Amino acid sequence: MAPCTLFSGPTSANVPIIHPKPTDVVIIGAGPGGLLLALYLLEKGQGRFKVSIHEAREDPRETLKRPPSPRRSPLGIWHRGLAALQRIEGLWPRVNAVGAPAFVCKVWVLGRFLSVPHRAEDSPKIVTDRCALCAAMMDLLLARYGGSGLLDITFDQRCTSVDLRTRSVTFAAPAPSADRNSEGQPGPDQASDVGEWNRTNGTGITKRYDLIVGADGVHSVVRQGIVQSTRRFDFEQRDIGWEWLVTRVPVPPPPVKGDWGLIVLGKPFALLTPGCPSLEGDSQMNFVIGWTSHEKPPEWHACTTAEDAKAYLDRAYPWLNIPLKSAEALLKQRVNTSMQLKCSVYHDTEGRAVLIGDAAHATSPTLGQGCNTALEDAATLASLLLETETVSELPDALESYSGLRVPEGHALVDVAESQGPMDRWGVIRNILNMVWQTMLNRLFPKLFPPHILISVSAGKPLSEIYKANKGFVDSVLASNQRAVRRLTEKRNQERTDAMLAKRFKAAPAGS
């Protein structure tokens, strides 16, 4: 499978005039953040930016043709994501077309469906999936800039390192042959041969840049480059202990039909959201199941055949009647884990490197704002870059970007964690807090802020939401820290006990 570079495509009638020396922006990662940034720079830059996007995986439009995979995790587009998308003319209708309306939320608890009372404005604007969103942006990018000479998009090309000193980036050398697995993941070492690049001796291909953007998700290689050369760069990353699998299932019979979200509070936790009606009709839903890593369901892990998996899922969700094919798809999938990440800054001035989206601030999906914040990052960075006239002005733009976005990124991580307490008392306290705060806000709106989830859905800055709820958020974070300590101690004790038991068993009797 050769890496593919998309230089061409239908050319827009209004191809921008290319600046005599456009700023060479290299974007690593064609996720929602990277693609939206490219659209902004090309759409509003009047030919001043030349953008190349390098993506380790295949074109998302190809992934949409494959069986369900974690690349197609469901996404709610809320107010802040909508605002960022709407500023690009013609983009929202395309995204809207691959989403489903979102209006009702039900919770399956203690064997019954309960409707959660909430207003339309507190719902996501649409629910779609990550790949469908990326494919919609790709289509627009190629339709408008495919033949402009300002855009290169290369798939199946993994960035391996970034050298901020020489302002160059290296990609893995192409593998002679590589097969894709069922998730569309290519072989580990692939890259393409793009005209102006220098080949290094068998170790890969390097390319110089004026600005490099790390839109390459939580395991960002651009961030590694920043870590190596920026003294004041600090980051904190941890596995949040949440594991999940995703597939598609036929829409179960009423009362599920038409609901935007069905949350199943049980073990394992499950989430059903509408699929993409324009892509696959309205008969399919996204189905995510998840558990915490210390509560892995042993019955699921004991399943070896599709029939076992179906029997287990039928016991856990009898109203779903999961097809054998979907149960098999789940069983075959590698369990996905989620990371939490906070960085002290999002850029390096000298090396002209900057991070957006999950590369800068990853969180658990409890708040449903990771992608929305990535889109907001892209819009903010673009507006600062668009104010620059020359490359020498980039450092100031990057400083301002960190100044604006670090408080938002930190608040996103903390507020999201506050919605995922790790012990039973924490869960009860969160439910009481939600009921209590909603009541007080309805009675005395001027005195009491709305509940966190309501403020988040209205698109209020996350740093303001954190400030308004600081006491509550900090107390959940502290109790989560205690829970992690208890779990680690328990795990260490179990490991020591197992080791001692093994040693005593191995020792000959009487010795």
Residues that bind ligand FAD (CB under 6 A): 28-34, 54-57, 73-76, 130, 158-159, 215-217, 221, 244, 288, 357-358, 365, 368-372, 374
110: region left, alpha or beta (phi > 0 left; psi from -120 to 50 alpha)? left
Q: CB neighbours (10 Å) of residue 240? A: 24
The residue with tokens 């989430």 is 271
Strand partners for 23 = 49
Report the C-alpha gap between 328 and 326 in whole angstroms: 5
- Residue 336: Cβ within 10 Å count: 15
Burial of 56 (0-12, 13-18, 19+ CB in 10 A): buried
Residue closer to ligand FAD (CB basis): 32 or 45: 32
Question: What's the min distance (Å) between Cβ of 404 and ligand FAD?
Answer: 17
Distance CA 59, CA 30 (A): 9
Could you tell me which residues are beta bridge partners of residue 238? Answer: 340
DSSP output for 245-295 = EEEEEEPPSTTSTT-SEEEE-SSSEEEEEE--HHHHTTSEEEEEEEEEGGG
> Closest approach of Cβ 501 to ligand FAD, in Å?
38
Closest approach, Cβ 154 to ligand FAD, in A, equals 9
CA neighbor of 287 nearest in space, from 307, 317, 332: 317
Q: Which two tokens stand for residue 293?
A: 């890593």
Please say which residue, 123 or 437, places its beta carbon nearer to ligand FAD.
123
Conformation bin of residue 179: beta by default, left when phi > 0, alpha when psi is -120 to 50:
beta
d(CA 173, CA 192) in angstroms, rounded, equals 8
Cβ at position 43, least distance to ligand FAD in Å: 18
Instruction: Give the nearest distance from C-beta 481 to ligand FAD in angstroms.
Output: 23
Spatial contact of 96 and 36, defined as CB atoms under 8 Å apart: no
Q: How far is the CB of 294 from ligand FAD (least distance, A)?
A: 19
To the nearest whole angstrom, how small is the minimum distance from the Cβ of residue 325 to ligand FAD?
Answer: 21
Between 16 and 368, name the residue whose CB sits nearer to ligand FAD: 368
**Pair 310, 325: CB distance under 8 Å:** no
- How far apart are CB 265 and ligand FAD at their closest, in Å? 16
Tell me the closest approach of the beta carbon of residue 77 to ligand FAD, in angstroms: 7
Query: Which of residues 48 and 78 has its CB atom nearest to ligand FAD in the complex?
Result: 78
Q: Please, which residue, 178 or 391, has the CB nearer to ligand FAD?
A: 178
Name the residue nearer to ligand FAD (CB basis): 23 or 170.
170
Q: What gap in Å lies between CA 473 and CA 459, rounded to an integer?
A: 18
Bridge partners of 163?
168
Minimum separation from the CB atom of position 447 to ligand FAD (A): 30
Q: CA angle 282-185-70, nearest 5°?
A: 40
Nearest to ligand FAD of 30, 88 (CB atom): 30
